[in-house]
Amino acid sequence: MKKIAITTLGCKVNQYESAAFQTGFEAAGCVMVCAKETADIIVINTCAVTAKAGTQSRQAVRQLMRRHPDAKIVITGCYAQMEAQELLTMIDKPLCIVGNGNKDRLVQAALSDSPCDLTMLMGQISRKKEICRLPVRHFADRTRACLRVQDGCQNFCTYCIVPYTRGPSRSLPLDEVLDQAAVFASEGHKEMVVTGIHVGQYGKDLQEGSDCVELMRRLCLAHPEVRFRLSSIEPMEISDELLTLMADQKNFMPHLHIPLQSGDDTILAHMNRGYSSKEFRQTVEICRERLPEAAIGIDVLVGFPGETEQQFANTCTLLEELDCTYLHVFPYSRREGTLAATFDQQVPQAVKDERVARLRRLDAAKKEQFYTNHMGTTRPVLVEHKRDPDGRLRGFTDNYIPVSFPGPKTLMNTLTAVSLESVSATQVNGRSSDEDNAG
Ligand code: SF4
């Protein structure tokens, strides 16, 4: 019986795909072990979204090879897709490298005794027309499962390497999404995060005429006992129908995660983002009006080439004025192979660090304000499998407030009503109405 260890870096789509590898290995009779134990095969699912992620991927490959000198090494993911030749040069033993477009063949290649055929397993990602079929049995130890419905992107934002590593947008047909959701529901997952690289493009490449709204509607109706959360959606893809569905459908969580990237119109144009700061503002204002209690998270990219103090100030002003819940702030990182990597006036690291710190302070203030606004209310919380470091139960409300509260183990993986009592640092303390009932 072969022992397999999988190490995953990067996004939710990678997490889903690694869960699919695990499903495939288990079906072939293999045993999963953690990377600290002895293994026959090591799979490393890499990331390349930033230069730092690329470095971490390289380090993971080196460390795991040192720790497992006799294991077969299989490398996949965005870093492998971009830098297969570099990996082959860096490592002086036979490697198996599997491109993103051939992840459905990874398990077979890993278990095969014949050497990997790099040309065959890398393929040409830009020519891929169909999404890889990667069924998953379950997400180990997780209350929440990622449901991957789409892969790839053809927006070509100038800072982003993803269209080159994952190819054009491809969607999983709706009936196959529903089949996967049924598997997760039968495995006891009570929440599914609908995930993709560019989820708003869902269905555009399919003949069946479905789209992101139809997808969410069908999922919510098929599994009324499951909470569905949308991972992220581009501002210009938030339609009136989507907001109506989110407002009306009880198990569609009131939570929007929207990439802004910059609040300055010149920078937005240089990024090729396809909207203005005014349009973004209007979108968020409509979201807030239609969904007064929703969590609205915003991605920001700080220190894009040429970003002046004034342009950064425009971003700060927009974010200060918007009624949003939290910010995910990333420093711009130069990615070889993207258009922005060729732009002049790269912003010095110290300036980027200072701008990131300023926006992270704004993020903390926004969260505190949102949490404080909800004190005294009661909201449904899905209780996670692990307690917090103080031994209390924890989970997220429907509108993504992290809550911790006392209670018995029997509440884990159930939905419980929690009254929100006080705000402490990055979370809220609460009390469950089921606290005493469940032994
Ligand atoms: S929309 Fe832009 S940032 Fe997002 S994956 Fe596509 S190219 Fe990258």
Q: Is the pLDDT of residue 66 over 70?
A: yes
| Distance from C-alpha of 305 to C-alpha of 315, rounded to nearest angstrom | 15
Q: pLDDT above 70 covers what percent of the chain?
A: 99
b/e code 198-229 from CB counts within 10 Å (16+ = b): bbbbbbbbeeeebbbbbbbbbbbeebeebbbb
Residue 415: pLDDT above 90?
yes
Does 406 score more than 90 pLDDT? yes
Domain definitions of the chain by residue range: 3-123, 144-373, 378-432
157: its two tokens: 């934002």
* Ligand 1 center–CA 153 separation, angstroms: 6
Flag the least confident range among 126-130, 274-278, 362-366: 126-130
Atom in ligand 1 nearest the alpha carbon of residue 261: 3
Ligand 1 close to Cβ of residue 172 (< 6 A): no
Query: Closest Cα to atom 2, ligand 1: which residue?
Result: 157
Secondary structure (DSSP) of 11-39: -HHHHHHHHHHHHHHHHTT-EE--TTS--
| Residue 438 pLDDT | 46
Q: What is the pLDDT of residues 233-251, one digit of tens each?
A: 999 999 999 999 999 999 9
Q: What is the CATH number of domain 144-373?
A: 3.80.30.20
Residue 382's pLDDT is 97
What is the distance in angstroms between the CA of the first residue and the CA of the last residue of the chain?
41
Mutate to test the pocket of ligand 1, among 157, 273, 301 (most ligand atoms within 8 A of CB): 157
For 33-38, the CB contacts below 8 A with 24+ separation are 33/3, 33/4, 33/5, 34/5, 35/5, 35/6, 35/7, 35/64, 35/67, 36/67, 37/3, 37/5, 38/3, 38/68
Residue 223 structure tokens: 């599994």
Ligand 1 centre distance from Cα of residue 78 (Å): 14
* 431 Cα–ligand 1 center, Å: 40
Q: Lowest mean pLDDT: which of 138-147, 396-405, 430-439? A: 430-439
Average pLDDT in the 423-430 region? 90
Across the strands, what pairs with 396?
Answer: 382, 402
pTM of the model: 0.94
CA distance 403 to 429: 6
- Homologous superfamily assigned to 3-123: Methylthiotransferase, N-terminal domain (3.40.50.12160)
Better-predicted residue by pLDDT, 343 or 425: 343
Question: Comparing C-alpha atoms, which of 423, 439, 287 is closest to residue 367?
Answer: 423
pLDDT at 192: 96
Average confidence (pLDDT) over 44-61? 93
Residue 439's pLDDT is what? Answer: 39
pLDDT digit string (tens) for 116-137? 888 778 888 998 999 999 999 9
Mean pLDDT computed over 176-183? 97
Where do the DSSP E strands lie in 179-281?
191-195, 227-230, 255-261
- Measured from the Cα of 273, ligand 1's closest atom is 2
Q: Is 276 in the pocket of ligand 1 (CB under 6 A)?
A: no
* Same fold for the pair 3-123 and 144-373: no
Name the amino acid, one letter, at 214. E
289 and 330 Cβ atoms separated by less than 8 Å: no
DSSP 241: H
> Which ligand 1 atom sits closest to the C-alpha of 163?
7
Other C-beta atoms closer than 10 Å to the C-beta of 259 total 17
Does residue 254 have its Cβ closer than 6 Å to ligand 1? no
* Nearest ligand 1 atom, CA 166: 5
- Measured in Å, residue 159 CA sits from the centre of ligand 1 at 9
Ligand 1 pocket check for 197: Cβ under 6 Å: yes
- From 427, 405, 429, select the one nearest 416 (Cα to Cα): 405
414 Cα: distance to centroid of ligand 1 (angstroms)? 35
pLDDT of res. 147: 96
Number of continuous H segments (helices) and E segments (strands) in the chain? 14, 18
Quick one: average pLDDT of 90-100? Answer: 88
d(CA 9, CA 77): 9
Look-up of token digits 């169909």: 130
What mean pLDDT is predicted for residues 100-114? 94
- Please give the full DSSP string across 357-411, using - where no structure is assigned: HHHHHHHHHHHHHHHHHTTT-EEEEEEPSS--TTS-EEEEETT--EEEE---GGG
Q: How far from the centroid of its chain's Cα atoms is residue 57's Cα?
A: 17
Atom 1 of ligand 1: nearest residue by CA position: 155
Query: What is the pLDDT at residue 436?
Result: 59
- How far, in Å, CA of 342 to CA of 328, rounded? 25
As a whole number of angstroms, the distance between CA 150 and CA 342 comes to 30
149 Cβ closer than 6 Å to some ligand 1 atom: no
pLDDT tens digits, one per residue of 328-363: 999 999 999 999 999 999 999 999 999 999 999 999
Contact 105, 153 (CB under 8 A): no
